[in-house]
Amino acid sequence: MRKIISTKTLAASDKNHLLQAGVSLVEYDALKIETLPFSIASDYDTYLFSSQNAVAALKQYWKNQNTTHLQQASIYCVGEKTAQGLKDLGLNVLKHFENAQQLIEFLKTQDFKSCWLHGNHVTPTLEQWLRAKGSDSYTVYLSSMNKKKFAEDYSAVLFFSPRGVESFASENDLNNKTAFCIGETTAAKARTHTLNVVVAKNPTSTSLVLKLIQHYKAKNES
């Protein structure tokens, strides 16, 4: 039985996919997330959300917000699940993007005033955009590495963010392992540690799990 490590706790349905495929799963959260109290200013027509963690922070501190204004504002975000979480709060999500870079490229063609909600670690591209645009932003959650050493008896690792790669690689050698990555930004970080990188067809946990199953099924049949 092939053993893999997931750097994020998976949904029951994704675990079931792996079990049915005969995969042994070890999972943990490579990043610790702590939400921060905040109250969003109401003088923006557009708000930007970087991740599901930003949505979780908004849900926790929903009572601090001018919810009527938020529900009338335009929302753009990164990730399909992020978009769904915002819609569940009654927010008007006009479009979601696969990563922050795609969202920034879109924003370059727009001239509206926006406010970005993100974590304490932002990509260099996002930081440069925020400075160049003079855009306001809120740090609504903190992420820190949950470092953990594993025995070398695994063949692959599921990664969901560049920071997750950093956290895992700080204690474990990826050189002869396969890194299955949720998107190209995460894959770019993984390639600094291993040549064996596979990217999900779509940037979702389920797509990543199915990609891993498909990958090893093809290997077994070849």
Task: Identify the CATH number of the domain in which residue 135 sits.
Answer: 3.40.50.10090
The 10 Å CB-count burial string (b at 16+, else e) for 22-41 is ebebebeebbebebeebebe
Last residue of a domain, one of 143, 172, 205: 143
Q: Do 43 and 21 reside in the same domain of the chain? A: no
Q: Which residues in the chain come in under a pLDDT of 50?
A: none
pTM: 0.86
| Residue with tokens 């077994």, as numbered in its chain | 220
Query: Mind listing the pLDDT tens digit for each residue in 82-100?
Result: 999 999 999 999 999 988 8
Q: Do 60 and 118 reside in the same domain of the chain? A: yes
Q: Do 123 and 199 reside in the same domain of the chain? A: no
Last residue of a domain, one of 103, 126, 143: 143
What distance in Å separates the CA atoms of residue 130 and residue 133, rounded to the nearest whole number? 5
What pLDDT score does 19 carry?
A: 93
Last residue of a domain, one of 108, 143, 178: 143
Q: Do 25 and 47 reside in the same domain of the chain? A: no
Q: Do 97 and 194 reside in the same domain of the chain? A: no
Our count of domains for the chain comes to: 2
CA distances from 215 to 10, 50, 79, 120, 137 (A): 19, 29, 24, 34, 40
Q: Do 211 and 187 reside in the same domain of the chain? A: yes
CA distances from 221 to 1, 216, 218 (A): 16, 9, 5
What pLDDT score does 222 carry?
A: 56
Q: Do 128 and 165 reside in the same domain of the chain? A: no
What pLDDT score does 85 carry?
A: 96
Q: Do 38 and 69 reside in the same domain of the chain? A: yes
Domain extent, residue 160, equals 2-30+147-221
